[in-house]
């Protein structure tokens, strides 16, 4: 087995969603200085994915490393048998969008010390909307790749001192939101109301 190390290995690159992940990684690899490989069961199919991704993205992917990995003995881990094989049509992906509206209550003033707590009821309410392209096959690869790039590029090892980290804790003080905005994921404050 090779000792070669990669920033990303796209396992299941020949699958319906995997092809979109390959496109997204290829699109950002040069700018992020990422070394990546694709993985799956069939050399022929993986080569075809790289050729087609090259055509879609305009990136030279012929030299992209290919790893043969057969997970056929463990399909329940990856699919749970829930998803249909074909996925949505190309038109559905091109025209589909998502929008999530979140309502939160909190305090207008930030406490100077993270170990202290407010002694009053929340005084602010904010309604925020997150939206973007089709959620399953377009937005998910964008978000996944940008989160991975943020982990690789902006979060140092000294931040990890053991334990479990929430996404809010892990990605605070990073440029993840700016990265997502640059990649067609929109964040907008619909309404901010204070006092309550």
Of 179, 177, 196, which is closest to residue 187 (Cα–Cα)? 177
Tell me how far apart the alpha carbons of residues 85 and 130 are, in angstroms, rounded to a whole number.
28
Confidence of residue 8 (pLDDT cuts 50, 70, 90): confident
Confidence of residue 147 (pLDDT cuts 50, 70, 90): very high
If one looks up domain 8-79 in CATH, what number appears? Answer: 3.40.50.720
Confidence of residue 76 (pLDDT cuts 50, 70, 90): very low
Sign of CA dihedral 93, 8, 79, 69: positive
pLDDT per position as a tens digit, 18-34: 999 999 999 999 999 99
Q: What pLDDT sits at residue 131?
A: 97
3-state SS, residue 138: helix
Q: What pLDDT sits at residue 167?
A: 87
Share of the chain above pLDDT 70, in %: 88
Helical packing angle, 16-32 and 140-154, nearest 10°: 30
Higher-scoring residue by pLDDT: 113, 142: 142
Q: What pLDDT sits at residue 86?
A: 55
Q: Please report where in the chains the tokens 């990605």 appear, as a residue.
A: 171
Distances (CA, A) of 138 to 23, 65, 132, 148: 10, 24, 9, 16
Cα distance from N-terminal residue to C-terminal residue, the chain: 62
3-state SS, residue 43: helix
Q: Please report where in the chains the tokens 């202290």 appear, as a residue.
A: 116
Taking 60 as the threshold, does the pLDDT of residue 80 lie above it? no
What residue ranges do the domains of the chain occupy? 8-79, 93-193
Tell the burial category of 87 from Cβ atoms under 10 Å away from its Cβ (0-12, 13-18, 19+).
middle
Q: Please report where in the chains the tokens 């939206």 appear, as a residue.
A: 131
Confidence of residue 61 (pLDDT cuts 50, 70, 90): very high
pLDDT per position as a tens digit, 88-108: 677 878 888 999 999 999 998
């Amino acid at each position: 087995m090779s000792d070669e190390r990669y920033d990303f290995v796209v396992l299941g690159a020949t699958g319906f969603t995997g092809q979109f992940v390959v496109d997204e990684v290829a699109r950002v690899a040069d700018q992020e200085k990422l070394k990546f490989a694709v993985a799956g069961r069939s050399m022929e199919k993986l080569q075809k994915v790289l050729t087609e991704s090259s055509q879609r993205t305009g990136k030279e992917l012929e030299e992209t490393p290919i790893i043969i990995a057969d997970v056929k003995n463990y399909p329940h881990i990856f699919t749970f048998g829930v998803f249909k094989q074909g996925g949505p049509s190309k038109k559905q992906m091109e025209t589909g969008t998502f929008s999530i509206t979140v309502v939160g209550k909190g305090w207008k003033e930030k406490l100077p010390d993270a170990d202290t707590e407010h002694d009053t009821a929340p005084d602010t309410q904010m309604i925020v909307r997150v939206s973007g392209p089709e959620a399953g096959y377009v937005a998910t690869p964008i978000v996944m790749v940008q989160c991975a790039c943020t982990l690789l590029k902006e979060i140092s090892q000294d931040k990890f001192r053991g334990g479990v980290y929430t996404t809010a804790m892990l990605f605070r003080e990073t440029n993840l939101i700016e990265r997502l905005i640059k990649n067609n994921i929109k964040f907008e404050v619909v309404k901010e109301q204070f006092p309550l």
